[in-house]
Amino acid sequence: MPDRVIVTREIPESGLRVLEPFDVTVLHERPPERDELLEAVRGASGILSTATEKVDGEVMDAAGEGLKIVANMAVGYDNIDVAAARERSVAVPNTPGVLDETTADVAFMLLLAAARRLGEGERLLRAGRWEWWGPKQLLGQDAWGKKLGIIGFGRIGQSVARRAKGFGMEIVYHSRSRKPEAEGELDARYLDLDDLLETADFVSVHTPLADETRHLIGAPELEKMKPEAVLVNTSRGPVVDEEALADALAERRIFAAGLDVYEDEPEAHPKLLDLENVVLAPHIGSASVETRDRMAVLAAENLAAVLRDQEPKTPVDT
């Protein structure tokens, strides 16, 4: 009999075609409830998960000893208990490299939209409250020629930097390690985090979520930023303390923010919803037709490889 595979959400058909040799059950579009997930995975050899499902030891044990792989259709894998998987000899691959440019597009979209007050202007127009053009109306911040601070200078952070070069921006970055090759290519300078926050006009966050990066940007860090600065987060929601950010925005201690991720998705902090100077997107960083196809295919290829006793293409660093 073919191996049993559970796909926790509906994914593009391109990914499902890769899994045709297996006995595949696809749950549905919405995230599964916990009890539903625990029941669905019973007897599965492989699980293809997305960022919305918590796959921990309990889920792995529910699947049983035949579970060989949890293939995550995302770059981040903070939703998977990698230590529990290692203890059970379960492979955990992710989907890096296929969504870098698309996510960088969204980061730069949010940067410009927040800086130029696009959301506020659109709401004004749609509500029928735009009465005239005025010399002082909806004044924002220029991006051209400004200093962009990038926190997390991996593939996505560097892709954002390439876009910024087209706007004549000065690039500074903070990362766990120096990136000499990228520094040369992008004319980027390394700064410690405090110096970056104090001097950057725009701060874009691209660090993975880990214990040491949870609330990496909190009240003390926001206090260091310029009053005209714009913060963008397309990494993981808990990297930024949402309540502290909402307070900083409400008190105009920073100019604006653009967010694609949240601490408690799909909820955003209620204070943020009442603010005009924040652009809110519903986690669409990788949401293009082409990129989601590539993510689905890579996740499915990783899963199929392990079930055929081969190595996955993109295992996480365990």
Quote the CA–CA distance of 280 and 282 in Å, as a whole number.
7
Number of other CB atoms surrounding residue 69 within 10 Å: 25
Regarding whether 121 and 81 lie in a shared domain, the answer is no
On whether residue 317 sits in a domain, the answer given is no
Regarding whether 133 and 241 lie in a shared domain, the answer is yes
Regarding whether 129 and 166 lie in a shared domain, the answer is yes
Regarding whether 112 and 94 lie in a shared domain, the answer is no
Q: Given this model, what pLDDT does residue 1 score?
A: 85
Q: Is 28 noted as a catalytic residue in this protein?
A: no
Regarding whether 147 and 55 lie in a shared domain, the answer is no
Q: Given this model, what pLDDT does residue 198 score?
A: 98
Q: Quick check: 150 pLDDT over 80?
A: yes
Digit-coded pLDDT (tens) for 245-286: 999 999 999 999 999 999 999 999 999 999 999 999 999 999
Q: Residue 266: is the preceding peptide bond cis (ω within 30°)?
A: yes
On whether residue 42 sits in a domain, the answer given is yes
Number of other CB atoms surrounding residue 243 within 10 Å: 16
On whether residue 318 sits in a domain, the answer given is no
On whether residue 41 sits in a domain, the answer given is yes
Q: Which residues are paired to 280 by β-bridges?
A: 259
Regarding whether 248 and 260 lie in a shared domain, the answer is yes
Q: Given this model, what pLDDT does residue 317 score?
A: 74
Regarding whether 164 and 123 lie in a shared domain, the answer is yes
**Ordered strands of the 46-49 beta sheet:** 23-28, 4-9, 46-49, 69-72
Joined tokens for residue 88: 């059970």
Q: Give the SS3 label for residue 194.
A: helix
Q: Is 265 noted as a catalytic residue in this protein?
A: yes
On whether residue 124 sits in a domain, the answer given is yes
> Which residue out of 117, 283, 292, 294 is catalytically annotated?
283
Regarding whether 55 and 122 lie in a shared domain, the answer is no
Regarding whether 272 and 298 lie in a shared domain, the answer is no
**Residue 155 belongs to domain with CATH number:** 3.40.50.720
The percent of residues in the chain predicted with pLDDT above 90, rounded, is 99
How much is the average pLDDT of 17-29? 97
Joined tokens for residue 147: 């200093």
Q: Given this model, what pLDDT does residue 41 score?
A: 98
Using alpha carbons, select from 175, 206, 211 the residue that is nearest to residue 78. Answer: 211
On whether residue 32 sits in a domain, the answer given is yes
How much is the average pLDDT of 63-89? 96
Regarding whether 160 and 124 lie in a shared domain, the answer is yes
Q: Quick check: 14 pLDDT over 90?
A: yes
Instruction: Write out the residue range of the structural domain in which residue 252 sits.
Output: 100-280
Digit-coded pLDDT (tens) for 184-239: 999 999 999 999 999 999 999 999 999 999 999 999 999 999 999 999 999 999 99
Q: Give the SS3 label for residue 136.
A: coil
Burial 286-307 (b: 16+ CB within 10 A, else e): bebeebbbbbbbbbbbbbbbbb
User: Measured at the alpha carbon of residue 310, what is the angle toward residues 66 and 94, in degrees to the nearest 5?
Assistant: 80
Q: Quick check: 288 pLDDT over 60?
A: yes
Instruction: Specify the DSSP element, H or E, that contains 279.
Output: strand 278-280
Regarding whether 214 and 112 lie in a shared domain, the answer is yes
Residues 6+ apart with CB under 8 A from 155: 96, 97, 100
Regarding whether 125 and 254 lie in a shared domain, the answer is yes
> Which residue out of 174, 236, 269, 292 is catalytically annotated?
236
Mean pLDDT, rounded, of the chain: 97
On whether residue 161 sits in a domain, the answer given is yes
Q: Quick check: 318 pLDDT over 80?
A: no
* pTM metric for this prediction: 0.92
Q: Is 283 noted as a catalytic residue in this protein?
A: yes
In the chain, how many domains are there? 2
Query: 149, 127 in Cβ contact below 8 A?
Result: no
